[in-house]
Amino acid sequence: MSPAELVAIPYTWVLALSAVLFAIGTMGVLLRRNGIAIFLSLEIMLNSANLAFAAFAFRLAAGHGTAGEALAGQIFIFFVIAVAAAEAAVGLALYIALYRLKETIDVDRINILRW
């Protein structure tokens, strides 16, 4: 589609979507016992954050006129994705090590460090 038709979705809608997704992700983190599921919910949260960045970058691009600010938003999203990748790698490695130790991924069972 040509750039001229890239018109109107209000950036606030994107922000609203980001909020909803964030809420879903948080609920997943807090409510699930399976470690992998928690991780996946965490990815949802990261994505919703990315979406929020995108919304504001989109708005800046429209409102002010310098391409630089929109670009900064996108770069940031890029880095968030990179960090998420690193985090996923290390986190999953942790899970594997944990599974080797305790034969389970259930986070409720990993509670030795308690009073």
Touching other proteins, residues 37-56 (CB under 8 A):
37, 39-41, 43-44, 47, 50-52, 54-55
Q: What's the min distance (Å) between Cβ of 105 and other proteins?
A: 6
Written in H, E and C, the secondary structure of 55-108 is: HHHHHHHHHCCCHHHHHHHHHHHHHHHHHHHHHHHHHHHHHHHHHHHHCCCEHH
Q: What's the min distance (Å) between Cβ of 38 and other proteins?
A: 8
How many residues belong to the site for other proteins (CB under 8 A)? 89
Helix (H) or strand (E) holding 31: helix 11-31
Q: Which of residues 53-72 bind other proteins (CB under 8 A)?
A: 54-55, 57-59, 61-63, 65, 67-68, 70-72
Q: What's the min distance (Å) between Cβ of 98 and other proteins?
A: 9
Q: What's the min distance (Å) between Cβ of 112 and other proteins?
A: 6
Q: Which of residues 76-115 bind other proteins (CB under 8 A)?
A: 77-79, 81-90, 92-97, 99, 105-108, 110-115
> Measuring CA to CA, which residue among 76, 71, 43 is closest to residue 58?
71
In Å, how far are 19, 54, 84, 98, 106 from 114, measured between CA atoms? 34, 41, 29, 17, 16
